[in-house]
Amino acid sequence: MKTDRSTVLFQNSQKVIPGGVNSPVRACKAVGTLPRFIHRAEGCRLFDADDNAYIDYVGSWGPMILGHRHPAVIQAITEALARGTSFGAPTDLEMELACRVIEAVPSVEMLRMVNSGTEATMSAVRLARGATGRDIIIKFDGCYHGHADTLLVDAGSGVATLNIPGSPGIPASVVQHTLSLPYNDAEAVRSVMAEKGKDVAAIIVEPVAGNMGMVPPAPGFLETLRAVTQENGSLLIFDEVMCGFRVAYGGAQSLYDIRPDLTCFGKIIGGGLPVGAYGGRKDIMSQIAPEGPVYQAGTLSGNPVAMAAGLATLEQLRQPGVYDTLEKRSGRLAEGLAAAARRNGVPASFNRVGSMLGMFFTDRTVENFETAKTSDLPRFGQYYREMLDAGIYLAPSQFEACFVSLAHDDAAIEQTIQAADVSLAALSNG
């Protein structure tokens, strides 16, 4: 596979952008290769600067659930662009998208738009502290809630990929009130809340963890979080930036029938454009300025082009049978990959919730960050390179999820399974 143009672009990019990329995992250091520079996309495929085609399971890290360049989304963006790109003033589109999210997610009574998942989680934590008058935040090892100082503790995603324990530039005083516990460990949560619960402002969690690979919640885990927060007057924040409208139309909270106090959104609700949002109970959200004293603002928040793309995406997702189709295709892919691993004698563990998948190169059942870290990272790197050369575009990290879109038809999934069979055979023989 020819990659001359991508190589030159990366060399030039490193001269003007730190590491040559605008988000660390994209550099592909963890998988021992150079990034492919993408030129265009269509449906479930990406095309790089050398015109190589790839079946895409990154999906811009989750939002492209309809596939790339879906006609309805392109039309909505085009119509919005004809009216202008940004106003710095209210528009009907932001109200319509807020109404659509509130309609789909019963726990959300009011919603504030922002520009990224990091902004959403950062703002939700500030709101939780302001509303409760408490300082302590509990998160979970391997859950990534963006790069805000308060939450960059024992995080997943790029922090895990690059094996960074935290980050320089964050004073100890900033994170002294952030506690990180093992994901899926209900007993640890009960123990800490028994001791510190009356000082805990909130527990924030990915209800379906997608930043340590893909790890589903254990039975009773989310229920425990809901119970102990209610018992102690703390808030429960669901970070559904990744899984919101991905695992179900109403998000993970509808799938598991848990109603959090606050929810963070991103990715899918922007249809592939930069977006974030946080929302929840009206009495809590009313604490946000200008209605209340907790300050948060954003020049581009509610950008009309992003709002149009998000509305068009949610309109497609609310059609009958959409999530049944995603479930069927994702299940076929997961079963095919697992069968290929067994055929080739490669130890691998699989997790899936809806159209989010995780494949780990370990013989352990992956249920938290510790078990995810038992994965054979050099073997994953080899697998990644083999699959890339076979035209399959995966996230360049063992600690990221895989996403299936409505554009992944049976032929694309079968091609992926066949490529995995060959790639895993190469691993087995190597």
Active-site residue (options: 144, 183, 278, 384) = 144
Q: What is the DSSP letter of 57?
A: S
Predicted pLDDT at 317: 98
In a shared domain, residues 339 and 260: no
Residues 14 and 140 in one domain: no
Question: Are residues 21 and 84 located together in one domain of the fold?
Answer: no
Rounded to an integer, what is the distance from CA 292 to the centroid of its chain? Answer: 30
Side chain identity at 159, as an amino acid letter? V
Domain count, the chain: 2
Q: In percent, how much of the chain has pLDDT > 90?
A: 91
Per-residue pLDDT tens over the stretch 86-96: 999 999 999 99
Nearest to 220 by CA among 251, 254, 186, 197: 186
Whether 304 and 327 map to the same domain: the answer is no
pLDDT, mean of residues 263-276: 97
pLDDT of 206 > 50? The answer is yes
Average pLDDT over residues 249-268: 98
What is the residue-wise DSSP string for 237-276? EEE-TTTBTTTBTT-HHHHHT---SEEEEEGGGGTTSS-E
Cα dihedral across residues 283, 284, 285, 288: positive or negative:
positive
Which of residues 36 and 168 earns the better pLDDT score?
36
Give the distance, in angstroms, between the CA of residue 28 and the centroid of all CA atoms in the same chain.
18
pLDDT surpassing 60 at residue 165: no
Q: Would you say residue 157 has pLDDT above 80?
A: no
303 and 202, same structural domain?
yes
Regarding whether 197 and 294 lie in a shared domain, the answer is: yes
Across 272-276, average pLDDT: 96
| CATH (domain of 45) | 3.90.1150.10
- List Cα–Cα distances, 90 to 11, 96, 99, 274, in angstroms: 42, 11, 14, 18
pLDDT band at 429 (very low <50, low <70, confident <90, very high): confident
Query: pLDDT at position 125, please?
Result: 97
Kindly name the residue from 54, 267, 376, 383 that is annotated as catalytic.
Answer: 267
Q: State the residue range of the domain holding 82.
A: 71-317
Residue 352's closest CA among 370, 369, 333?
Answer: 333
Residue 291 to residue 293: CA distance in whole angstroms: 7
- 267 carries an active-site annotation: yes
Known active-site residue 198: no
Q: Which residue has the higher pLDDT, 157 or 41?
A: 41
Q: Classify 41 as helix, strand or coil.
A: strand
The mean pLDDT of the chain is 94
Same domain, 127 and 182: yes
Q: What is the mean pLDDT of residues 138-153?
A: 87
pLDDT in tens, 223-238: 999 999 999 999 999 9
Q: Is 4 known to be catalytic?
A: no
CATH classification at residue 92: 3.40.640.10
Q: Predicted confidence band at 390 (pLDDT cuts at 50, 70, 90)?
A: very high
pTM: 0.95
Site of tokens 């004073």:
171
- Same domain as 393, residue 269: no
- Dist CA 2 CA 49 (whole Å): 10
Question: Would the pLDDT of 159 be above 80?
Answer: no
According to the model, what pLDDT value does residue 162 have?
46
Q: What is the mean pLDDT of residues 4-16?
A: 97
Q: Are residues 202 and 291 in the same domain?
A: yes
Confidence grade of residue 430 (pLDDT, cut at 50, 70, 90): low
Q: What is the model's pLDDT at position 174?
A: 76
At 160, the pLDDT band (50, 70, 90 cuts) reads low
Query: Angle at Cα 38 formed by Cα 85 and Cα 340, nearest 5°?
Result: 125
pLDDT in tens, 323-351: 999 999 999 999 999 999 999 999 999 99
- Pairing of β 356-360 and β 392-393: unpaired
Interval 149-175 mean pLDDT: 64
Q: Which of 239, 261, 323, 393 is flagged as catalytic? A: 239
Residue 397 binned pLDDT confidence (cut-offs 50, 70, 90): very high
pLDDT of residue 155: 60
Instruction: Say yes or no: 89 and 210 in one domain.
Output: yes
